[in-house]
Chain A
């Protein structure tokens, strides 16, 4: 059971944030191509950082709390997954804030965001009218 500690934490992150997509309908997973593109720089930079840190002995991973599967360079499978799961959760959090508050995050609302049901459009006060000329 102990070997699953790290993996269970990652699964927990995905489960806790799932309602943002399923209930709040932030459409993050729905925009999966953009999501992959946005996660890519973070993934490259931080995996490189971890490989350097492991090589330098900055930190180490427990053999008992991880599956024990390691990629070349000694990076555990869970640590690689961490750099995919955590950024996805961060994007979900940002989109949830944006959806609930309507605060600007520096990019126009996707045209398809206003193509939802009329109920959706009502909830996103103002955002619908922006696209009314369509």
Chain B
């Protein structure tokens, strides 16, 4: 995720109004938006006459917990009890709610203060209304648990009694509000179960795939498994003969769908050619699609092949880079020439897929020049604009029901399925639910790119790293690395190691790359931390002590022009703080008892590994204790995680859940996930050949949050990258085998 892409693009202003029934609304609208907001859905806070409170959750809920954590921020400053609060989900509408993006772990850092001020603003208006009603100074009124108190005159009232009057009060300037001292927090930092938990465990329709508007038909979409392939033949009669199939519709390719979007990627403007099969059930639609027996040919990506790419990468490593000195900070060649010792290693990692459990789907209705969508998405505004462009209507005429996502991980930043569903629905003339099957979900993912790194470090006489050289190989178009495939010259150790050079080779690719949980970092963390282990090992140093020395004195490493270079827009590293890296490193080491003897386990070789990483504004370190059996299989016993996301954990329960899930997700990726191409298409078709971690592989995960005096930041991503290198370190400690490729080849670990 590019940080530039996530900045709210419109200045927003606070406005309030009175709703029918004496409710006060406090919404947030873009400057210039109409003054009146019809209905409670466009408000963040509604206080009803009976004292109940409705808070709008406006961010896309993809499992990261924002539907709970954001209303908590408002409720804290509104000074109500959490039990008084009812949370309602907002539709996708940037003009009313401001930015609505689930990506880049950006929501909490960019909106924590804003949400708190929304709550504080509503509280101030209620206090003003009570002050007027009681003819007392506002400064003498206190609040607690949704009640107003004036101690001197012994008066009190519920918020509900002044809600209507408060609605007529001009909201205070957000910057004039005094926020609570965190020492007085009663909601933030506590363990608050997700607001949808009861609905989840009773099977209520929450997800995009659960939408069922009246008159809906089910659709499947046949399209080329090779990106932008063309239809050669299809047996429509056979599809129509499948019981339950109602119609087949040809859909033409579109390449003119480029629009102003939050998350820009090459290729997103394409609606692939295909045949929609409409039926009275998803099952019949998918059967009909299969009966088409569609044959495809050509395609921009027909040349793609993992075997050929591997050979091209090997050749580039042998022959030298296409772009020497792509990044050149200081004078790495001179430092390398003068170094006392050199360490060299080649690292590699594959494409991986998002594989969210809820397959890509969208329900759409197009009628009278307007469109209504029911969609699980991380970028609702993008979906509206893309669909509007595809249909030739205005974005304001696209209503988006923002549904809970059955997993995002970055896949639902892309709204290709919404465009397909809307175009099919327009042709069908009835509401359509389009569902991809699992094979399509893999075949048409926006993959985490694979990459290769040939690394060389120069060590001084004491064994410390003084120069770093990388030949980085990844994928791109027109000779340029694709945005998700760049080398990010701002990432650690760049900045700490001043003499840093990276050469680059670009392998051609034509299909879609995207952002996957802790993008770029999820691979670079493995490479960097693994190689630091190798340097420490080469000079017989302890892994923790060696890293402490490398980090040096606690200090902020600033964004420097020399560190920006070509990849400025994607810089996710600097500024970072070496003291915070050291803090999580030391904490994780202490939690796990780093340096202790690992217990012997019969028939197993056991060890511990440690790594840290900074990404998405969060600092994380892991210790992994693992064993390797004689057959090479890896068993992880326990993972310790130390986290520094600033001053305030918003929801301790949700935060811990994110961290535990992230490291086990990363464990699954390290042990088995790999997407390959043959004849232009993705070879993996289902979870059978793309294993995710399962219950029997999931170890205990102990998490500790360190509070530091920095802004509160997000948690969807930064816990992921440091797991794989810590696991590789544990395996090395156990077996003496250094694993330099993801996923780990456990055949190398046989006793």
* A and B interact: no
Q: Using a CB–CB distance below 8 Å, which chain A residues touch chain B?
A: none
